[in-house]
Amino acid sequence: MLKLYECRDMKGKVLFVSGIDTSVGKTVATGLLAKALMVAGKRVITQKMIQTGCVEVSEDIEAHRQIQGIDFTEEDKAGLTCPYIFTYPCSPHMAAAKDGREIDLSVITQATERLSERYEYVLLEGAGGLMVPTVGMGLTIDYVKEQGYPMILVTSGKLGSLNHTLLSVYACQQYGIPVQAIVYNRYPSIDPLIEANSLEYLRERYPEIPIILLPEYKEGSDALPDIAPLL
């Protein structure tokens, strides 16, 4: 079982959730992990670092709450769980420019700190993958390293994902970011042979990194991922 890292002076435990690519299932994974932590009796909240392609309300935070089976929290209503929402669906640096706004990363950090004072776990979901530009030449992975957050990396078994997963883990290793767990999303299933082989390969290549199998999310389902590596 891996040890969680406390971030700087934060009281709660912040885990950064990133995907190997867009549309890999990190929003569903974040919601299911949060629900599993809730069921385990933990005080947990999710946060979205930056949301693009939305107006006023973060669709990812909305999805998290739907999966958790709870209403919007006071922190959601106060904007703490998603400090930046941009209208155009693209990378944060471009979305901010199109909306004529600027991103101040300290605003996100301060929001996370406030959440960590109220909750045992903060699952901070990124936008896209690790190398997504945020401010200037800065990347998401730069921010994660600066804050000292451990990583939950969401991947899948679809063709091409293995390459992206290896690159993402390598990037974390080069940046000195601990990978707390790899979440393996098997849905929707496209090629069972590739999915099984990729899972076996990851287990053999990274025996030190726990792999959490993500169950298929269906409304009303009680299936939850095994969160033992996060406890």
Question: Could you read off the pLDDT tens digit of each residue along the chain, which spans 231 residues?
Answer: 233 334 445 479 999 999 999 889 999 999 999 999 999 999 999 999 999 999 999 999 999 999 999 999 999 999 999 999 999 999 999 999 999 999 999 999 999 999 999 999 999 999 989 999 999 999 999 999 999 999 999 999 999 999 999 999 999 999 999 999 999 999 999 999 999 999 999 999 999 999 999 999 988 788 999 999 999
* Contact criterion met (CB below 8 Å) for 140 and 129: yes
* Within a domain: 6: no
* Within a domain: 183: yes
How is the beta sheet containing 44-48 ordered, strand by strand?
Answer: 44-48, 121-125, 13-19, 151-156, 179-185, 211-214
Residue 71: domain span: 13-230
- The torsion angle over the Cα atoms of residues 48, 57, 27 and 88, rounded to 10 degrees, is -90
Question: What's the pLDDT at 7?
Answer: 42
* Contact criterion met (CB below 8 Å) for 103 and 96: yes
Token pair belonging to 197: 């082989």
Helix, coil or strand: residue 98: helix
Question: What's the pLDDT at 218?
Answer: 86
What whole-number distance in Å separates Cα of residue 127 and Cα of residue 129?
6
DSSP 11: S
DSSP 209: S
End-to-end CA distance of the chain: 8
Token pair belonging to 98: 């199109």
Question: What's the pLDDT at 8?
Answer: 44
* Within a domain: 2: no
Token pair belonging to 201: 């390969």
Residue 45 CB neighbours (<10 A) = 26
What whole-number distance in Å separates Cα of residue 47 and Cα of residue 111?
9
Question: What's the pLDDT at 1?
Answer: 29
* Within a domain: 149: yes
- The torsion angle over the Cα atoms of residues 33, 35, 36 and 39, rounded to 10 degrees, is 160
B/e letters for 140-170, b = 16+ CB within 10 Å, e = fewer, are bbbbbbebbbbbbbbbbbbeebbebbbebbe
Question: What's the pLDDT at 5?
Answer: 36
* Within a domain: 87: yes
What whole-number distance in Å separates Cα of residue 4 and Cα of residue 14?
9
Indicate which residues carry an active-site annotation.
Answer: 48
Structural domains of the chain, count: 1
Question: What's the pLDDT at 69?
Answer: 96
Question: What's the pLDDT at 2?
Answer: 31
* Within a domain: 4: no
Q: Which CATH number characterizes residue 209's domain?
A: 3.40.50.300
